[in-house]
C-alpha cells in the first residue's frame, strides 16, 4: 500500500505539473532554440508530407532500431515508431558467442515518400546488406527487402520518370538504378560514379571523405548534400547539383559553423526551406540544429550570416523532448499484461508494445529473462548467463541522456540477486559508470564502479571505486545518476538513498567520453548481470527523469 500511494502521489504530481506547464505555455509561449534536440539524434533524413514532417535517425546496435520521428513544426518532435524490431537474428546483434555490434548495426538512412507509401533505405556493416523498408503507417510495422552489396550511407531517390536509384559511397559517390520492386540493382540499369572525390570541394587535405549523402530535387535540378572534414579543420556541409541525375555535378561548401554538418534540406508548407544538420557535442552525442535556408541562383544559402541561429522563429509548444525521453512507472494496462502473458517465453519473442518508445535495449534482448508480469508494476531483469562486464551483458534497457543536464532515478529491489551479480543504474557508453548493488559471500554491498578500457571491448575490466555494506533488513535502495553536459563538462555523478529523499554521493565523478567503439551518446541504463552463476533477479520499481541535477 505504501508503494501504491507513493506511485499515486508521483503520478498526481506529474499531472499537476503538466497542467501548470500547459497553462504557462498558453500565456508565456517561448521561441524554440538551437540545438533543436539536445540529445543524440544523428544522421537525420527529413521529409514533409502535407502538414507533417518525418525524420529517421541512427541508433546502430540498439533495439528496436531506426527511430522514425514526426513533428508539425520542426521543433516539437515525437518518436512515432521504429523501422525494425530486430534487424536480423545474428550473434553480433544479440551479444551472443562473444560477438557484438557496438558502433555498427545500421548507420545513416534515407526516408522517402511516394504515392501513400513511406520508404526507408539503410545499410548495415554488421550483415553486409542494404535494406529497404516500406509502410503506409510510420507508427506500425514495416515490411523489408534486403540485398547485397552493402551501400554505404545510401540515399534513395525516386525520379519523375518512375525510376528508383540509390546514391551511396564515401569520397566517390555512385548512382545505381534499382529494380522496379526495389529488390536489388537493375540489370543493365545505370550504375556508375557520378561525383568523384566529393570531399575535395571542401578544400584543404581530405580527412573524412564526403559521405552521408541525401539527394533531392528542386526546380528541375538534382542536389546531393554531404558532410566532409578537411584535415585540421571542422566538419563541413557541402552540396552538389546537376541538371541530369547522372551528372555532371558541380559542388560548393554551403555551411561551415562549429562543425555542424550532415543531414538534409526540406521544403516547408509555406514554401521556405530549412536545413537539419547535427553537431558532435561531446558525451551527450550528436545533436540536431535547425538552420534557415535561402536560395540564390538555385544554390542554397544556409544560416544567418553563415551561422546557426541561437533562436528560431518557431513557437515551442510541447514538452522539451516530447517522448524521445520518458519516465516509466512500469505499470501496464490489464490488456497489455494479458498480451504479455500470452506471448511465448522465447529468446526472440520480441514485443515492442511492452515499453514506451523512448526505451531501447542494448542489442537484441533475450526475451526469456525480462518481465513486467512476474511482479506487476515492476520491471524484472533475470540473468540468463554469466558475463564479465556490463558491456557483454544482455538485457540492459536504455534511454538517451540529454542536455544541458539530466538526471535519472530508480528504486531497486536487490533481494533476489545471486552471489556475483551486479544490478543498478548506469551512465552507459564504452567508458561507463554505474551505481548499484552486488552480492558477495551472501552479503549485499552498495557499489559504484566504472569500466577500465583496454585495447578491445572484450578486454575491458570493471573497477569498483566504492563499496558500502548494506544492513540485513534493507532489500530496496534508490539510485540516481546526474549528468552535466554544460559547456561540454561531460561529468556523471552517482548517488544512493535508503528513503528516496536523502541522497548520498558515492564514488568519484565519471568523466564521460564519446568514443567510436560505441559511436553514440551516453545512455541511462537499467541492468542486471551475473559473474558467477545465472538465475538471479533484480526488480526495478520505476525509472524517472529530470532536467535538474544536484548542485555541485
CATH number for the domain that contains residue 466: 2.60.120.200
- Is there a single domain that holds both residue 97 and residue 209? yes
- Is there a single domain that holds both residue 88 and residue 237? yes
Going by pLDDT thresholds of 50, 70 and 90, the confidence category of residue 552 is low
Task: Give the per-residue pLDDT at 1.
Answer: 38
Say if residue 518's pLDDT is above 90: yes
Tell me what percent of the residues of the chain surpass a pLDDT of 90.
Answer: 92
Query: Of 316, 349, 365, which closes a domain?
Result: 316
Task: Give the per-residue pLDDT at 458.
Answer: 85
Say if residue 5's pLDDT is above 90: no
- Is there a single domain that holds both residue 15 and residue 67? no
Say if residue 10's pLDDT is above 80: no
Q: Which domain holds residue 454?
A: 334-546
pTM: 0.94
- Is there a single domain that holds both residue 367 and residue 448? yes
pLDDT tens per residue across span 20-75: 333 333 434 799 999 999 999 999 999 999 999 999 999 999 999 999 999 999 99
Task: Give the per-residue pLDDT at 447.
Answer: 98
Average pLDDT, the chain: 94
Three-state SS string over 320-387 comes to CCCCCCCCECCCCCHHHHHHHHHCCCCCCCCCHHHCCCCCEEECCCCCCCEECCCCCCCEEEECCCEC
Residue 326, in any domain of the structure = no
Residue 537, in any domain of the structure = yes
Residue 551, in any domain of the structure = no
Say if residue 308's pLDDT is above 60: yes
CATH code of the domain in which 79 resides: 2.115.10.20
Say if residue 334's pLDDT is above 60: yes
- Is there a single domain that holds both residue 304 and residue 448? no
Give the contacts of 274 (CB within 8 A, at least 6 positions apart). Answer: 74, 265, 266, 268, 290, 291, 292, 293
Residue 8, in any domain of the structure = yes
- Is there a single domain that holds both residue 301 and residue 374? no
- Is there a single domain that holds both residue 150 and residue 257? yes
Task: Give the per-residue pLDDT at 29.
Answer: 73
Domain count, the chain: 3
- Is there a single domain that holds both residue 479 and residue 525? yes
Task: Give the per-residue pLDDT at 8.
Answer: 53
- Is there a single domain that holds both residue 18 and residue 43? no
pLDDT tens per residue across span 339-391: 999 999 999 999 999 999 999 999 999 999 999 999 999 999 999 999 999 99
Burial of 453 (0-12, 13-18, 19+ CB in 10 A): middle
- Is there a single domain that holds both residue 463 and residue 509? yes
Residue 324, in any domain of the structure = no
- Is there a single domain that holds both residue 373 and residue 269? no
Please report which helix (H) or strand (E) contains residue 435, including its range: strand 433-440
Residue 510, in any domain of the structure = yes
- Is there a single domain that holds both residue 469 and residue 493? yes
Going by pLDDT thresholds of 50, 70 and 90, the confidence category of residue 457 is confident
Higher pLDDT, 1 or 170: 170
Largest CA distance in the chain: 76
Residue 113, in any domain of the structure = yes
Residue 322, in any domain of the structure = no
Cis peptide before 460 (omega within 30 of 0): no
Note whether 197 and 171 are within 8 A (CB).
yes
Tell me what percent of the residues of the chain surpass a pLDDT of 70.
Answer: 95
Strand order in the sheet with 397-400: 62-63, 360-362, 397-400, 523-530, 421-428, 433-440, 443-452, 461-469
Amino acid at each position: 500500500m505504501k508503494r501504491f500511494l507513493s506511485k499515486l502521489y508521483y503520478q498526481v504530481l506529474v499531472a499537476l505539473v503538466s497542467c501548470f506547464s500547459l497553462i504557462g505555455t498558453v500565456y508565456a509561449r517561448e521561441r524554440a532554440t538551437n540545438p533543436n534536440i539536445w540529445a543524440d539524434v544523428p544522421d537525420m533524413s527529413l521529409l514533409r508530407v502535407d502538414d507533417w514532417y518525418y525524420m529517421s535517425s541512427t541508433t546502430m546496435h540498439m533495439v528496436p532500431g531506426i527511430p522514425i520521428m514526426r513533428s508539425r513544426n520542426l521543433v516539437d518532435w515525437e518518436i512515432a515508431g521504429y523501422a525494425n524490431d530486430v534487424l536480423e537474428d545474428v550473434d553480433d546483434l544479440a551479444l551472443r558467442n562473444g560477438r557484438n555490434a557496438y558502433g555498427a548495426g545500421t548507420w545513416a538512412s534515407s526516408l522517402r515518400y511516394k504515392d501513400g507509401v513511406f520508404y526507408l533505405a539503410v545499410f548495415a556493416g554488421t550483415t553486409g546488406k542494404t535494406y529497404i523498408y516500406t509502410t503506409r503507417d510510420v507508427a506500425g510495422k514495416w515490411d523489408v527487402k534486403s540485398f547485397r552489396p552493402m551501400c554505404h550511407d545510401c540515399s534513395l531517390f525516386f525520379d519523375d520518370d518512375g525510376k528508383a536509384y540509390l546514391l551511396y559511397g564515401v569520397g566517390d559517390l555512385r548512382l545505381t538504378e534499382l529494380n522496379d520492386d526495389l529488390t536489388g540493382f537493375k540489370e543493365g540499369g545505370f550504375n556508375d560514379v557520378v561525383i568523384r572525390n566529393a570531399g575535395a570541394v571542401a578544400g584543404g587535405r581530405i580527412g573524412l571523405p564526403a559521405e552521408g549523402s541525401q539527394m533531392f530535387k528542386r526546380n528541375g535540378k538534382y542536389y546531393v548534400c554531404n558532410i566532409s572534414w578537411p584535415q585540421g579543420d571542422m566538419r563541413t556541409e557541402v552540396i552538389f547539383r546537376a541538371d541530369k541525375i547522372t551528372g555532371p555535378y558541380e559542388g560548393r561548401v554551403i555551411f561551415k559553423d562549429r562543425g555542424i554538418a550532415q543531414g538534409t534540406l526540406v521544403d516547408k508548407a509555406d514554401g521556405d526551406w530549412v536545413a537539419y544538420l547535427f553537431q558532435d557535442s561531446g558525451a551527450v552525442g550528436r545533436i540536431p540544429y535547425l538552420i534557415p535556408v535561402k536560395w540564390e541562383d538555385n544554390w542554397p544559402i544556409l544560416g544567418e550570416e553563415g551561422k546557426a541561429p541561437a533562436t528560431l522563429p518557431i513557437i515551442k509548444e510541447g514538452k522539451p523532448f516530447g517522448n524521445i525521453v520518458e519516465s516509466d512507472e512500469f505499470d501496464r494496462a490489464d490488456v497489455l499484461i494479458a498480451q504479455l502473458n500470452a506471448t511465448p517465453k522465447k529468446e526472440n519473442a520480441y514485443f515492442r508494445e511492452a515499453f514506451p518508445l523512448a526505451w531501447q535495449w542494448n542489442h537484441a534482448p533475450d526475451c526469456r529473462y525480462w518481465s513486467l508480469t512476474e511482479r506487476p508494476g515492476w520491471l524484472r531483469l533475470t540473468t540468463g548467463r554469466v558475463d564479465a562486464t556490463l558491456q557483454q551483458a544482455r538485457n540492459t534497457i536504455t534511454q538517451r541522456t540529454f542536455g544541458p543536464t539530466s538526471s535519472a532515478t530508480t528504486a531497486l529491489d536487490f533481494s533476489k540477486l545471486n552471489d556475483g551479480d551486479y544490478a543498478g543504474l548506469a551512465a552507459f557508453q564504452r567508458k561507463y559508470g554505474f551505481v548499484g548493488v552486488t552480492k558477495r559471500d551472501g552479503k549485499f554491498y552498495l557499489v559504484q564502479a566504472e569500466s577500465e578500457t583496454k585495447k578491445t571491448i572484450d578486454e575491458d575490466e570493471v573497477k569498483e571505486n566504492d563499496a558500502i555494506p548494506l544492513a540485513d533488513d534493507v532489500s530496496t535502495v534508490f539510485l540516481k545518476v546526474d549528468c552535466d553536459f554544460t559547456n561540454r563538462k561531460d561529468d556523471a555523478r552517482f548517488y544512493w538513498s535508503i528513503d528516496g529523499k536523502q541522497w548520498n554521493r558515492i564514488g568519484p565523478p565519471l568523466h564521460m567520453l564519446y568514443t567510436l567503439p560505441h559511436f553514440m551518446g551516453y545512455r541511462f541504463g537499467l541492468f542486471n548481470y551475473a559473474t558467477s552463476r545465472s538465475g538471479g533477479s533484480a526488480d526495478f520499481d520505476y525509472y524517472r527523469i529530470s532536467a535538474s541535477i544536484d548542485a555541485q
